[in-house]
Structure 1
Amino acid sequence: MRILVVEDSNTSRMYLQEILKDVTGKETHIGCAASGEEALEKFEERRLAGKGYNLIFMDIILPGIDGLQTLEKIRDIEQKNQTPEDLKSKAIITTALDDATKASRAFFQCEAISYITKPITVEKIQAELNKFGLI
């Protein structure tokens, strides 16, 4: 599995990375980005190398372009390149906010598969990954 973690807080990014390593196993490649712009660069690099991300954990509040705008741009790239549905990156939105409007936008416009409110725990991650057959 190839996962991209997009989180501006270094502490949160490292914490989520450790949880994902523990939950998914050693064969998982985890890339990290601290901003939407960096996430887009990493996404495109991996896509062009033929090793696109299977899963993206995207924080909503980021410096520069926010997480939902970043995810919309990722979906645009996938559409422009005619990425088959089964090869599109699955996205899980992470946020400290419990905002129904943003959650709705995440699901309908950005095609997120899930929405997790912080604090993130091992149990929340395992439950979401199990729910979608990702572990």
Structure 2
Amino acid sequence: MRILIAEDDYPGRKFLAQFMAAYGDCDQVVDGMEALEAFTLAMEESRPYRLICLDIMMPKVDGVKVLKAIRNFEIQQGILPEKRAKVLMITALAETGHVHQALEIGCDGYVAKPVGIAKLTQILAGLGFSP
């Protein structure tokens, strides 16, 4: 399975990449623009990401805007909801308004920083993923 991790904080990105390696092949980007480019390229290559982890607060384009662009692209391409990428938002506790917005747009779950292994494992299992 292909996984995209979009996180501007290096320690957070490194932790997620190490943890997610048990679930699949991870690509890492540092801002929202790179996330959109990686997603688009993966779709063009017919090698889509099954899981996308988006930090809400990122440089250039924030995670909520990236999520909206991803969901709009999937709708335009006629991708059925069950075939769409699962999107997990990563948030600081103070960003609850952004979390509600992301849930309305179509994220599949969220995890608060600092990210805990047990909680992340539980969320991924709920999305149908196992190591």
Query: Percent identity over the alignment?
Result: 28
Pairwise CA distance, 1:114: 0.8
Pairwise CA distance, 1:9: 1.1
Q: Take 1:51 and 1:29, find their aligned partners in 2: how far apart are those partners? A: 12
1:44 corresponds to which residue? 40
TM-score by length of 2: 0.93
Q: Take 1:63 and 1:16, find their aligned partners in 2: how far apart are those partners? A: 18
Q: Does 1:107 align with 2:103?
A: yes
Pairwise CA distance, 1:10: 1.6
SS across alignment from 1:99: helix
Q: Is the Cα–Cα contact under 8 Å of residues 86 and 127 in structure 2 kept in the other structure? A: no
TM-score by length of 1: 0.91
Give the counterpart of 1:129 among 119, 124, 129. 124
Give the counterpart of 1:120 among 115, 118, 125. 115
Pairwise CA distance, 1:99: 3.2
For structure 2, list consecutive stretches of 5 or more residues without a partner in the other structure.
none
Q: Does 1:83 align with 2:85?
A: no
Q: Take 1:8 and 1:129, find their aligned partners in 2: how far apart are those partners? A: 21
1:62 corresponds to which residue? 58
1:18 corresponds to which residue? 18
Task: State the aligned residue count.
Answer: 130
SS across alignment from 1:128: helix
Amino acid in the other structure paired with 1:83:
I
Q: Does 1:6 align with 2:9?
A: no
Would you identify which runs of 4 or more consecutive aligned residues in structure 1 move more than 3 Å? Answer: none
Pairwise CA distance, 1:14: 1.0
Cα-Cα RMSD? 1.2
SS across alignment from 1:3: strand
Amino acid in the other structure paired with 1:82:
G
Pairwise CA distance, 1:98: 3.8
1:74 corresponds to which residue? 70
Amino acid in the other structure paired with 1:6:
A
Q: Take 2:96 and 2:57, find their aligned partners in 1: how far apart are those partners? A: 15
Q: Take 1:99 and 1:43, find their aligned partners in 2: how far apart are those partners? A: 24
